[in-house]
Structure 1
């Protein structure tokens, strides 16, 4: 079951990347919407990772 979920996530990620490239080349409106959602989700994940690392660094600094 977990493998199916991971495969689904990979398919969505690849599909989003394809839509980003297609939208950049002037694809249909729905591809531009999917591309916007994909880029926004990527940005949220990137910021989340930065915030998580900052929190870990603060915990490490407090422990010394």
Structure 2
């Protein structure tokens, strides 16, 4: 069951990356631009969460 869930997550990530690439080329439909925006937003949220956890582990001095 866990392998199935992880496989779906990996497929969604790959699909999001394809949509980002397609939207960057400029000829993507509206739905692909929306998926690309959601993918980029998710990446920014993950990056900021990672920064916060690293700053907590280092004692807050960044």
1:3-42 alignment runs, 5 A limit: 3-26=3-26, 27-42=28-43
TM-score (norm 2): 0.91
Structure with the larger helix share: 1
Distance 2:15 2:47 in 1: 19
Q: Note the aligned Cα RMSD (angstroms).
A: 1.5
Structure 1: gaps spanning 5 or more residues: none
Greater Rg by CA: 1
TM-score (norm 1): 0.88
How many residues align? The count is 60
Q: Determine helix, strand or coil for the equivalent of 1:44.
A: helix
